[in-house]
């Protein structure tokens, strides 16, 4: 039904975003599993082989906005095991810091689960400003365009990996297979000493 030119029977874009926010947390959980159990290796169209590793910071949450429980773990080793244990207790990945490495270039960024926003993106390998300037780029503008190209490439990689996840997520038999692997991984987390 149209009311003031607006279809009141169709959900708004903000409603659709809220209804599908769980996909971002599922994506981060799936990506963490792939990083640990499958070596984090992906073939990305137009880029080639890349690896994704979870580093330094993982936040997990459980519950609705009111009564929400949030756990943040940072560091390596034991702290990451504690974050993994949170998964076995029903928490979802709210945000995670990842390193994406394609060989000659590597990025580090924090991905927010519900919105898939990217925070703190930085190039941690492969940004040689002297080489850019020596190769005839146009000074600071050349360096700026080079950095923008690297940001665009990172976004392309994350987009392609998300498309891989989404393709599996909408295919019932593929998702069932992925869920089995995830469940085994999560179940195995709680075993053994921290």
Q: Which pLDDT does position 144 carry in this prediction? A: 81
Highest mean pLDDT among 22-26, 75-79, 123-127, 176-180: 176-180
- The mean pLDDT value of the chain amounts to 82
6 within 8 A of 12, measured Cβ to Cβ: no
**Phi and psi for 66 in degrees, rounded to 5?**
-85, 130
Residue with the larger pLDDT of the pair 71 and 179? 179
Q: Which pLDDT does position 140 carry in this prediction? A: 66
Q: Does the model's pTM come out above 0.85?
A: no
54 within 8 A of 80, measured Cβ to Cβ: yes
């Amino acid at each position: 039904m149209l009311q003031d030119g607006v279809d009141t029977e169709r959900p708004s874009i903000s409603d659709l975003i809220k209804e599908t926010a769980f996909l971002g947390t599922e994506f981060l959980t799936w990506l963490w599993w792939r990083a640990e159990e499958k070596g984090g290796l992906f073939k990305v169209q137009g880029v080639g082989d890349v690896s994704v590793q979870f580093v330094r910071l993982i936040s997990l949450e459980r519950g609705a906005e009111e009564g929400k429980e949030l756990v943040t773990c940072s560091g390596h080793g034991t702290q990451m095991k504690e974050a993994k244990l949170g998964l076995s207790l029903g928490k979802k990945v709210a945000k995670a810091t990842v390193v994406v490495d394609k060989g000659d270039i590597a990025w580090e960024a924090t991905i927010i689960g519900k919105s898939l926003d990217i925070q703190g993106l930085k190039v941690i390998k492969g940004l040689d400003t002297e080489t850019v300037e020596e190769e005839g780029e146009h000074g600071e503008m050349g360096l700026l365009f080079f950095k923008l190209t690297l940001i665009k490439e990172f976004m392309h990689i994350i987009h392609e990996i998300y498309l891989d996840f989404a393709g599996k997520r909408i295919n019932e038999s593929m998702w069932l297979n992925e869920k089995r692997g995830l469940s085994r991984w999560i179940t195995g987390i709680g075993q053994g000493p921290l």
